[in-house]
Structure 1
């Protein structure tokens, strides 16, 4: 299948994986703020944006495999940032092909579908219509197909992701977990994700929701750049990291 992608900016490669139900345009404000620090790659996943849908259900594994093929052909090893559903794809990519992930940023995402707060994935009719109009602006599948995409996403979210904390030990990349303090992801779940990762850092962005990347872009860009472009600093009184280092 043909995946739509683009490239902008200069610097270390950073692959941006968009949320579910929307497309790479969701990162427009972030591209404007990060393109002078990174070479930014964006891709619309199957059934999203400018990439056509394919027969059969959505799985995060299939989506990750599509992007792995794109990385192998065009990008190579890169920092990978995924937001919401994109975080689940990024996590899957990091577990399947750790050689392609230099640094990992998981924004407002879950490692298991029970990490969402109850009801947050239910979409009302007005939102469905708005998303459908946005989809129709660029989709090769034509107006009206978004209802099919939405049904596939509902099915996907009922089953995936379904990683365990044991699975997360397989993530070899240094990882930043980012979440809004009023996010659709349970904060307890974000903490579980952070604690289960072998080399994780945590950022709870104050005064933000599930849309933290567009609500406080400058603060998020600073955190992302600091994490990906600088080495970790030695801390004065480590607790968790001292324990991780002692067991390594």
Structure 2
């Protein structure tokens, strides 16, 4: 998902912006949105690369109306959150979300992850299962063999000028203001990470016991066979293939939202011997 990259004057912990607020997570300043039913099931929405909390715009209304308690953080360098020192990695992103779950959510939560966010959810369930209730992934791949040959990361590897220019124009957009080059640094760090990560095998997540719904788009950048393999490997995995592309949550919320809400509210699936 490509999203506008917005910067303002240097924020501080406690400052509010666009309905959310800034918090300190292990020394990193992050923006997050919190809303919905205060007594509802805690549900964390994790965006992907080149994106932010606003990528879940088509979910906020339905998810809050359904009684969920929503937590939507923006990771370092994305959306409203300033960049942090050093390169990006899936391990550091998982560490950041674990700290968020411990210090803000303070209990087990459903995690709905888009693209990178889905992989991070699986990593957290693997490392800290007590923090995860249920998982939903959409458009997620655990290694580059899971991508179609025309996938975005392949075109970045080939330095496709049109793709890179499009990403830079959208990702670096900042309402006419400049941020001293931070946006360029964030873009380059993100692309560098995606050239090498994620690099897991589906079997690396074979011990993830959290009930997990793997949502695949029939015309997405992730191979359906890859999603099938991941869902089959997870002990409590389920698979749904929907008509759409990598931007399925924004493209078809009328399909995506009811499916996710039904899954999060349903009883745990029973095992069936075939």
Name the TM-score class by shorter chain.
Answer: 0.7 to 0.9
Is the alpha carbon distance of 1:24 and 1:143 closer, same or farther for their aligned partners in structure 2, counting shifts above 3 Å?
farther
> Which residue of the other structure, out of 200, 211, 215, is the alignment partner of 1:178?
215
> Which residue of the other structure, out of 102, 106, 110, is the alignment partner of 2:141?
110
Aligned residues: 234
1:84: which partner in 2? 115
Residues 77 and 83 of structure 2 are in contact (CA less than 8 Å); yes or no, is this contact kept in structure 1?
yes
Distance 1:92 1:5 in 2: 21
1:145 correspondence with 2:182: yes
1:3 correspondence with 2:30: yes
Question: Displacement, 1:233?
Answer: 5.7
1:221 correspondence with 2:257: yes
Residues 218 and 224 of structure 2 are in contact (CA less than 8 Å); yes or no, is this contact kept in structure 1?
yes
Say what the alpha-carbon RMSD is for the aligned residues.
2.0
Distance 1:204 1:184 in 2: 13
2:49: which partner in 1? 20
**1:60-75 residue pairs with structure 2 within 5 A?**
60-75=90-105
Question: Displacement, 1:146?
Answer: 2.5
1:40 correspondence with 2:70: yes
Distance 2:193 2:119 in 1: 11
TM-score (norm 2): 0.80
Distance 2:78 2:166 in 1: 19
Residues 46 and 113 of structure 2 are in contact (CA less than 8 Å); yes or no, is this contact kept in structure 1?
yes
Distance 2:240 2:84 in 1: 36
Question: Displacement, 1:117?
Answer: 1.7
Distance 1:79 1:108 in 2: 17
> Which residue of the other structure, out of 81, 90, 95, is the alignment partner of 2:126?
95
1:246: which partner in 2? none
TM-score (norm 1): 0.88
Give ranges in structure 1 of 5+ residues lacking alignment. 244-248
Question: Displacement, 1:24?
Answer: 0.6
Question: Displacement, 1:2?
Answer: 1.9
- What are the Cα deviations for residues 137-184 of structure 1, in whole angstroms up to 9, with x where unaligned? 5x9x92643222222122211221122232111211000000111011
Question: Displacement, 1:110?
Answer: 0.7
Distance 2:144 2:81 in 1: 25
1:164: which partner in 2? 201
> Which residue of the other structure, out of 164, 171, 175, is the alignment partner of 1:131?
171
Residues 171 and 187 of structure 2 are in contact (CA less than 8 Å); yes or no, is this contact kept in structure 1?
no
Name the stretch that deviates more: 16-25 or 145-154.
145-154
Give the helix-richer structure, 1 or 2. 1
